[in-house]
Amino acid sequence: MRKIKTILVGQSGGPTAAINASLAGVIRTAYSHNLRILGMQNGIQGFLDGRIVDLSRALELDAPASVDIDGGEQNLLLLRKTPSSWLGSCRFKLPEPDKDSPVYQRITERIGEFGIDAILYIGGNDSMDTTDKLSRYFRGAGIDAPVIGIPKTIDNDLEGTDHTPGFGSAARFVAEVTAELTRDGGVYDVKNVTFIEAMGREAGWLTAAGALAGDICGTAPDFVLLPEVPLDEEILLARIKSRFGEKNAVMVVVSEGVHHADGGFLFDAGSIATDTFGHLVAQSGTAAYLAQLAKARLGVKSRGIELNTLQRCASHAASKVDLDEAEALGTAGVVASLQGETGVMVGIHRLSSEPYATEIRTVPVANVANKVKLMPAIMISDDGFNVTDEALHYLRPLVAAAEEPILGDGLPRFLDAL
C-alpha cells in the first residue's frame, strides 16, 4: 500500500442539513494527518471537468483565529452548521467500468494530474453506485487509490447503515412542522383536513417522522400514509369522514411516493422528466391532489401543504445527534482510507436505542449501491394508515437534541459560499 498524501472528497445527490458536517469531519481528520485535501466542485461531473479546489486554502486552515479574522477552526465549525452541499453537487451516472471508455480515461488522467491517492464520496444510493464503479475500475486498472463512500440522504433509504446523516435533521423538521400545523388546524370550530406532504419516493421513513408531533404537542397525526402501503382513496375518505365524528381538525402526513395498488402515483407521473438515474425530477403533488379530493367528496375545508426542499435545508431544526454522527462518519472515511480499505461505505450500527448507542462499521459498497431500504412491517400499523411504537422508538434518539447555531448579530451564520 502506497502512502496517502493527497485525498479528494466530493458531494453528490440531493443536499441535506448535515452533509457539510461529514465534509468537515473529512477535512479536519485529513488535516490532522498532514494530508493535502482537494475537493470536487459539483461532484464526479466537476472532477471530470477538472474543477478541483484546495480545501486547506479555501478554509484558511493555517490562518490564526482572531477577533477580526476567522481562522480555519471557526470555518470548520461554520461549515458543520451550513446547509446544502458546500462543494456543489451533481446527478451524473458513470457508465460501467471500462478502461477504453473516454470517461474512465479522463478519470485516470485527473488522478495523475492532481496526484490523488484516495477518494471519498459523500452521497446516497446513486452516489454509492459511483463509489462502487470507481473502486471496481481502479481495481481492474491497477490504480492503487482507496475509494470510500460516506452516506447521506434525508430519505433514510440506504442499506448498510441503521440510518443516514441528514435524515435526523429532516425528521426533526417534519415533526416540528406537523406539530405546529396541528395546533394551527384546531383554531376554528369548522371541519377541516390538512395533508402534509413529505419527501420519499419509495420509502416512508421521513413521512413517519410526522408521528413524532405527538411528543411535541400531545396530538399525533390521524393518518400517516407511506409508499410501502398502496393507498385506497375510498377507504381513506371513509376514515377521514369517520374521524370528523370525533373532532373538527384531521391531520394527514403523506409521502410524495404514495401510490395505488397497481403502482401508479396519485398524480400524472408521465408528465414529469427523469434524471440520469431514472428518478422523477419533481415528484410532488400528492397533498394537493388529496386536498382537492377531500374538498370535493367530503365538502370540508382542506389544505395540501408540500414541504418540498425545506426538509433538506432546514438547518434551524438540525439535530445535534445527526450532525455529530455525520462528522464522525467523515472522520471514519479518512481513517478507512489510511488503513487501506477500498470499495466500502462507512455506516452506523445501532447497539441500543435506550440508552442510545452506536458504532461505525464498514460495509462493501457493492452491497449498498442501487438498493432501497424500506420501512419494515413491524413499524407500520396493521391497517397501513399509521406507524407503530416500534417506529417511534427508532426515531426518537435521532431527533432528541438540537444543534445550537453560531450567531452573528442575533442571526444564525453560515459559511460563505465557495
Neighbouring-strand partners of residue 252: 195, 223
Ramachandran angles phi, psi of 139, nearest 5°: -60, -45
Alpha helices in 186-272 (DSSP H): 205-208, 213-217, 233-243
Outline where DSSP puts E strands in 178-271: 192-198, 223-225, 249-255
C-alpha 376/C-alpha 225 separation (Å) is 14
* CB atoms closer than 10 angstroms to residue 6: 16
Q: If 0-12 CB within 10 Å is exposed, 13-18 middle and 19+ buried, where does residue 95 land?
A: exposed
Neighbouring-strand partners of residue 254: 197, 225
275 flagged as catalytic: no
Q: What separation in angstroms does the CA of 350 have from each of 42, 164, 215, 310, 322?
A: 32, 12, 22, 28, 14
Q: Which of 155, 157, 222, 324 is catalytic?
A: 155
C-alpha 261/C-alpha 393 separation (Å) is 29
Q: Which three cell numbers stand for residue 356?
A: 442510545
Neighbouring-strand partners of residue 304: 195
DSSP designation for 265: B
C-alpha 22/C-alpha 327 separation (Å) is 4
Catalytic residues: 155
